[in-house]
Chains A and B, each alone.
Chain A
Amino acid sequence: MAAAAGSGRTVSSTFRPVRTWLLMPSWVMIGIFMFLPVLLMLVYSFLTKEFRGGVIWEFTLAAYDQFLFDRGLFGDDSPDIQWAYITIYIRSILQATGATLLCLLIGFPTAFFIATRPAHTRSVWLFLITIPYWVNLLIRTVSMKFLIRENGPLNDGLMALGVIGEPLQLVNTNFAVQLGLFYSYLPFMVLPIYAAVERYNFALSEAAADLYAPKWTILRRIVIPVVKPGIVAGCILVFVPSLGAFLAPDLLGGAKTFMIGSLIEEQFKGNAGNWPFGAACAMILLTLVLLVLMFYARAQAREER
């Protein structure tokens, strides 16, 4: 399946003249609503901040300088590395990684289960997976907080069962944030893996068993490598939005779990905002994500050869 990614398809010459026109709406939408905002963000990150939000059209590297260096309160000390923002980025990457692993751990068996049901019941299972997502993300995240709070149902239940003696402090922890991210993005893990497992030819597992492979070896050596494109797609789809998320960290975390999304959000909110700095933070995040994807693509290409 991965091998097919490189082979482009040619459009028959009959459709070539109209193709440009038929694609026009897509080009316009993508251009105006995706490409232009990123360009705008890039330009803003090099402008000078206006104190009550907004920008002055004077080009400067001040935003990036602020991200990387600490020049003291008045900006005239010798520059030290500014660890505050780098720490937030590292924490965000760790949180997003945790959430992705949690999604993978729960999502892979779920997807596998759904893909191996009889064909007519699969759509029902997929439907069930998506039901919670009909509710607004904010509401869902707030209810998650309600569930895991000190005297919420989770703690009450665990205490009633005698598993724990006193309530667990879950809110305002890294785990709470990961749980929130996991809950927000689980379908993005399940659906691509489901699509890959559904196409998986189970004769391969039979062949492996026939060639003396025990069950776990079949999973590790045959199933996972073959459905890997689905796993990777799911991980990217969960990791990238988790990295920039601000709802879950805001509501379920505290000051100690401050993440990139919240940092950026703060720069554009109210009067304390610093638009160029917010834009610079967003550009740095974008660059990080692109680098990760590029490295993956490179590694994939090497493996194909």
Chain B
Amino acid sequence: MSTGAAISLTHVRKMFGDFTALSDVTFDIADNEFFTLLGPSGCGKTTLLRMIAGFEATSAGTIHLYGDEIEDLPPDKRPVNTVFQNYALFPHMSVSENIGFSLQMLGWAAPDIAARVAQMVEMVRLQEFVHRKPSQLSGGQQQRVALARAMAPRPKVLLLDEPLSALDLKLRQEMRAELKRLQQETGITFIFVTHDQEEALSMSDRIAVMSAGHVQQIGAPQEIYRDPANRFVADFIGETNLLEAVVTEVGEGLLTCRLPDGEVLHAPRAGSAIGVGTAGMLSIRPEAVRLSREAPTGESLKGRLGPATYLGTDTQFIVHLGESLSLTARAQNTETGAAMPQQGDPVFASIAPGAARFLVD
């Protein structure tokens, strides 16, 4: 446990009967950090959040909050607050009653509650709606009430359980910016749970990618996207081409890999456990694949162009490299809509230097 960490998890486990929801999780979340737990449903991210909130007991391990052990405290004794997935606003209370509830419970004086509620209402821009009941608000407004309610008692850590999943796309994008703004203005440590990698990449200082009860990788968004620790992370974060490959040569900072059809690609060398003959996967992001009609200088893969999918800003191409091997490439559309190669045309695919990653597992 390092000092100064907002949350320290040490060998935390959670069992539901025979099922291991979380196996041996150890990491720190720094003060003032926007930290995201990212993973598919059932990966244990919500369980972990609920254990920090106090809704689930730990099966083993310890949780420290700013140095204090908290895993034995009930939820109403922990200075953390939660924004629930479907908001869980009190339906019989008005917006201001919802926001002031915790302050009442903490025994604040009425004028102090009124002042704090007014401040929170202003922060989430709901001044005109203070007397409304939650059922009279839109989804986005309810979301903001839930945020204001959870932040009113000045929690040391704010837990957010997929708070944007019930909103439509446009609103979700607005709320991302809003959340980031609130986090920076208040300086509260945010722990954000989501299965949406775009949300995670756009808001977080650091992300913990989780799968099947294990933390797969922890790092800044760029780090996780550019240097995935394993095949799961590479596949889950963004899109990627995963090509089976065997290392044929270990050079100075560079690996030479052979694909099943005999083509050769190079990848930066990371980690010392890789030697000649190591089998693994090459991960290549679609935007790192360049297509050209003529053979480029340097290494390239020859193929035939498959179907193209227009995606607005980008066009996605499938390139058939062999009988079973294909590669997805993505190119930004130009303003004029320059002539693109046709399906069936022969093309050359080259990989941006240093963009391929060799993953052992």
Same assembly:
yes
Chain A residues within 8 Å of B, Cβ to Cβ: 1, 3, 201, 203-204, 206-214, 217, 221-222, 225-226, 228
Q: Is B92 an interface residue (CB 8 A)?
A: yes
For the complex formed, measure the closest distance between the CB of A281 and the CB atoms of chain B, giving whole angstroms: 39
Flag if B76 contacts A213 (CB, 8 Å).
Answer: yes
Q: Is B133 an interface residue (CB 8 A)?
A: yes
Q: How many residues of B contact A (CB 8 A)?
A: 27
A210–B90 Cα gap in the complex (Å)?
A: 13
On chain B, the residues within 8 Å of A217 by CB distance are 105
Q: Is B194 an interface residue (CB 8 A)?
A: no
Provide a sorted-by-A list of 6 A–B residue pairs whose CB atoms are within 8 angstroms: A203-B85, A206-B55, A207-B89, A212-B76, A214-B76, A222-B90
User: Among the listed A203, A214, A221, which residue makes an inter-chain contact with B86, where contact means beta carbons less than 8 Å apart?
Assistant: A203
- Chain A binding surface, main DSSP class: helix
A212–B53 Cα gap in the complex (Å)?
A: 12
A221–B105 Cα gap in the complex (Å)?
A: 11
Flag if A209 contacts B86 (CB, 8 Å).
Answer: no
Given contacts A201-B86, A211-B81, 14 further A-B contacts (CB under 8 A): A203-B85, A204-B90, A206-B82, A206-B88, A209-B55, A209-B74, A210-B54, A210-B55, A210-B80, A210-B81, A211-B150, A214-B76, A225-B92, A226-B91
Which parts of B83-97 form the interface with A (CB within 8 Å)? 84-86, 88-92
Flag if B88 contacts A209 (CB, 8 Å).
Answer: no
On chain B, the residues within 8 Å of A209 by CB distance are 54-55, 74-76
On chain A, the residues within 8 Å of B91 by CB distance are 1, 204, 226
On chain B, the residues within 8 Å of A211 by CB distance are 76, 81, 101-102, 105, 149-150, 153
A213–B78 Cα gap in the complex (Å)?
A: 11
A201–B77 Cα gap in the complex (Å)?
A: 22
Chain B residues within 8 Å of A, Cβ to Cβ: 53-55, 74-77, 80-82, 84-86, 88-92, 101-102, 105-106, 133, 135, 149-150, 153
Q: A201-B88, A204-B88, A204-B90 are in contact. Are A210 and B135 (CB under 8 A)?
A: no
For the complex formed, measure the closest distance between the CB of B7 and the CB atoms of chain A, giving whole angstroms: 16
Q: A203-B84, A206-B84, A222-B90 are in contact. Are A212 and B105 (CB under 8 A)?
A: yes
A210–B75 Cα gap in the complex (Å)?
A: 5
- Which 5 pairs show the lowest CB-CB distances between chains A and B? A211-B102, A203-B88, A207-B88, A212-B105, A209-B75
Flag if A207 contacts B92 (CB, 8 Å).
Answer: no
A201–B87 Cα gap in the complex (Å)?
A: 11
On chain A, the residues within 8 Å of B54 by CB distance are 209-210
The chain A residue sitting closest to B159, CB to CB, is A210
With a 10 A CB-CB cut-off, give which of A201, A206, A210 has the most chain B CB atoms: A210
